[in-house]
Chain A
Amino acid sequence: MAKLDAKIPGGPLAQKWTNYKATTKLVNPANKKKLDIIVIGTGLSGAGASSALGELGYNVKTFCYQDSPRRAHSVAAQGGINAAKNYQSDNDSVYRLFYDMIKGGDFRAREANVYRAAEVSNQVIDHFTALGVPFARDYGGTLTTRSFGGVQVSRTFYSSGQTGQQCLLGAYSSLNRQIKNGNVKMFPRREMLDLVLIDGKARGIITRNLVTGEIERHSAHAVVLATGGYGTIYYLSTLAVNSNASAAWKAHKKGAFFANPSFVQIHPTSIPQLNEFQSKLTLMSESLRNDGRIWVPKIKGDKRKANDIPEEERDYYLERRYPTFGNLVPRDVASRAAKERCDAGYGVGETGLAVNLDFRDAIKKQGKKAIENKYGNLFEMYKNITGIDSYEEPMRIYPAGHYTMGGLWVDYELMTTIPGLYSIGESNFSDHGANRLGASSLMQASGDGYFILPNTINNYLSGEISVPKISTDRPEFADAEKASVDRLNKLISIKGKKNAGSFHKRLGKIMWDHCGMSRNEAGLKEALKLISELKEEFWRDLNVTGSLNEVNPELEKAGRVADYFELAELLVTDALSRKESCGAHFREEFQTPDGEAMRNDDEFAYVAAWEYAGEGKAPVLHKEELKFEEVEMKVRSYK
């Protein structure tokens, strides 16, 4: 049985990263030119890593499924990006950011990685500013910040409600500079079909050109997955509809352990589902909770219009239950509280699956203009979709699948259990524990890509400098290519009746109903049964039109859904095995009398890293014990 070695450097927490950088092996500039690195994905982590590795002089080959690297889903992040700058002199520090993340993650993340993420956060802000990212500024010309859920300081840098877009376009610009310089070769509209291993090391990938259908082989001395999360496993989520887990899943099946797959963040402030055809849920930034107050009627099933319900008949349930943090409690807490009210019959709107997010008091106090300045584009977006003017009546919101804290297991160097295979950004598991705090995903993805991976990958590559360019004529490439083509042919030759999207939708419903915001043993077992039945039906009744050798979105989708069936089984298995409630993982059997999550540190203070054991075999659980040397594990309270 493999032993998980997180390779955490010695020394005090605050010195680990400095020590690591001072002592790690290096690759000299002349040798860097001889080494190839493949990066999959062009979000903040992938574009950042490609840029930084290109600047260092490596030969980088970068792939994305979109038509342009500028469209990766980091583009959609709204609220902001955290950094421990302490520009507001409100007692912020690297340590406090670290502590907030560890606590916010409900003590299920690795201390050393989290501290490092906090440590590089300031460099990320400096770098984006230098790249020309127009962060919001004060009248004196300095950068300004706002506060975000789950913390008591103001450390979130932002560009209106489009921070992800602005950061991503910054990363896209630095990527473009390396493309121009010839250090990065960009391959858009490519989908990774498999990872190629030679002698146990990651040596390349098989891709499908999504325009011509051509199957391609690409080799490298190391492969970096920056492929994002798997939130679309719920079908309806805040993610881009083509986001998928296939690259990570293929790597998992080749030997990369998958960690904490059941840690999925359900975001509290999404626009509720409006109709049965809906393909995605649109997020309303969490920053709205700074000024919006969340409430439901005190009377069950009250059908009056929100504005007709007098103040004394409104239940501001977050302010009631959590007086210290109020509407700014972390996402998992806010989501569960909304579900609790709606399940109890107090929800609003036609379906009863929504709560009010009300700006009446903020507008009264600060004026409409001030609210418009802060959230204008979000109010506009809400109106476009729902037809409702939120300056006049409350928004309706409901939780939606959003971010996956789980992902490929990585060590301190961000390397997976496959030598030479790295995983960065949302695709790895490392920094957010069981729950992610707002505005820390842009921070982590950028930190991983620009500042961490380019400093850790050298340690591995220093041992590869004598390995010549890897030939794609090797039998390992031929085998992987054949397996990929066989699978595509299998999907296309089922010739059943239903399209892949309809299976995806049904899978999503199973996951949402049984393995969403709250879970219990019976429901999870039921989910395993339902997934297995649906999977069987998929492989019997799927229809993929068209051929392999052309633009074929149905074929792309079918491959991704097929992988989701397998990941769904692992996700549910992980949720079943974790017999405690922590962060976003809420097991109904483990809660306090007033409905708060009950952790079990004695038995579950570990990372669950799952090893693929083969088709039809139960995955093998490996435990990485979490040792907290710096902080004391406490009951997470926001009361």
Chain B
Amino acid sequence: MKLTLKIWRQRNANAKGNFETYQMDNVSPEMAFLEMLDALNKRLVEEDKDPVAFDHDCREGICGSCGMYINGHPHGPVPAITTCHLSMRFFKDGETVWIEPWRAKPFPVIKDLIVDRTAFDKIQTAGGFVSVNTGSAPEANNILVPKSHSDEAFNSAICIGCGACVAACKNASAMLFVSAKISQFALLPQGRIEAKERVRAMVEKMDEVGFGSCSNTGACEAECPKQIKLTNIARMNREFYKAF
């Protein structure tokens, strides 16, 4: 099939960006979206032109590297998958596809579709851990955890840190991302001991690095490739109130 690509090109953080148009003639419906971009880049290098820069790594939906706005949706129009899992069979022959980087102040563009997400790491560094030294852990089965709590903690812990929630949010809020980690630890006895310090430190850092506030629109939940639930945000708020 034939596609018209409108891709955001931006040389570096300080340069002014713009959309460039590329025609793709031989797109197979069996290709993955990133493979379609690989094919474009191969052609651009052969023409001695600058290929499109984008973050990607595992290409199986788990590392969280890839992320781009495709036709107005983070990770494209198909729910619950990452860009690397997006198949070209979801596009129509002759379609125009708009491809943009995450747009959020705390995620400055590095080049083209690559953004700087170290703000996420800073929040995790502020408190996203249990303070246990190597070698000092008790026998794993000494602390029993109800299966329902453990399963729920897991459902929060599967966040891949891609940043789609922030990109989808009109306020560039990171509440879904932060609350997923807060929830995971809040639900487990191992995490309860430092619960107050953790939620205060992470929320404080979240504000400091420039993420916006949550106004409960729910775009983050709708666009999250891992279907992290809004209830995490409610739990984080509860934990936050309890922490003072």
Could you list which residues of chain A lie within 8 angstroms of chain B, going by C-beta atoms? 48, 51-52, 55, 66-71, 73, 75-76, 85, 87, 123, 125-127, 129-143, 159-160, 162, 164-166, 169, 172-174, 176-177, 179-180, 186, 188, 211, 238, 240-242, 274-275, 277-280, 282-283, 381, 384-385, 387, 450-451, 454, 497-499, 501-502, 543-546, 550-551, 553-554
Q: Which residues of B contact A544 (CB under 8 A)?
A: 45
Q: Which residues of A contact B154 (CB under 8 A)?
A: 134, 159-160, 166
Closest A residue, CB atoms, query B157 = A134
Q: What is the interface of chain B mostly: helix, strand, loop, or mixed?
A: loop
Contact partner of B145 among A67, A141, A451, CB < 8 A? A141
User: CB-defined interface of B130-163 with A at 8 Å, one 1/0 digit per residue?
Assistant: 1111111111110111110011011001101100
Known: A159-B154, A545-B45, A553-B51. A66 touches B57 (CB 8 A): yes
Q: In the bound complex, do residue A129 and residue B190 qualify as a contact, i.e. CB atoms below 8 Å apart?
A: yes
Q: In the bound complex, do residue B58 and residue A134 qualify as a contact, i.e. CB atoms below 8 Å apart?
A: no
Q: In the bound complex, do residue B145 and residue A137 qualify as a contact, i.e. CB atoms below 8 Å apart?
A: yes
Q: In the bound complex, do residue B124 and residue A73 qualify as a contact, i.e. CB atoms below 8 Å apart?
A: no
Determine if B25 is an interface residue (Cβ-Cβ < 8 Å).
no
Q: Which residues of A contact B231 (CB under 8 A)?
A: none
Q: In the bound complex, do residue A129 and residue B45 qualify as a contact, i.e. CB atoms below 8 Å apart?
A: no
Q: Which residues of B contact A68 (CB under 8 A)?
A: 64, 117-118, 120-121, 161
> CA–CA, A538 to B127, complex, Å?
47
Q: In the bound complex, do residue A240 and residue B50 qualify as a contact, i.e. CB atoms below 8 Å apart?
A: no
Q: Which residues of B contact A48 (CB under 8 A)?
A: 134
Q: Closest CB-CB distance, B159 to chain A, in whole Å?
A: 9
Known: A66-B57, A451-B134, A550-B12. A130 touches B190 (CB 8 A): yes
Size of the B side of the interface (Cβ < 8 Å), in residues, is 80
Q: In the bound complex, do residue B147 and residue A141 qualify as a contact, i.e. CB atoms below 8 Å apart?
A: yes
Q: Closest CB-CB distance, B219 to chain A, in whole Å?
A: 22
User: CB-defined interface of B54-77 with A at 8 Å, one 1/0 digit per residue?
Assistant: 011111111111000000000000
Q: In the bound complex, do residue A176 and residue B124 qualify as a contact, i.e. CB atoms below 8 Å apart?
A: yes
Give 13 A-B pairs besides A52-B134, A241-B57, A545-B48 with Cβ atoms closer than 8 angstroms.
A76-B60, A127-B135, A132-B184, A137-B150, A166-B154, A166-B157, A179-B125, A240-B63, A242-B57, A274-B30, A277-B38, A499-B46, A551-B111
Known: A55-B134, A134-B154, A169-B157. A76 touches B140 (CB 8 A): no
Q: Which residues of A contact B39 (CB under 8 A)?
A: 277
> CA–CA, A591 to B163, complex, Å?
52
Most chain B CB within 10 A, of A52, A130, A177, A278, is at A130
Q: Which residues of B contact A501 (CB under 8 A)?
A: 38, 41-42
Contact partner of B130 among A173, A282, A498, CB < 8 A? A173
Q: Closest CB-CB distance, A351 to chain B, in whole Å?
A: 12
Q: Which residues of B contact A502 (CB under 8 A)?
A: 42
Q: Which residues of A contact B51 (CB under 8 A)?
A: 499, 545, 553-554
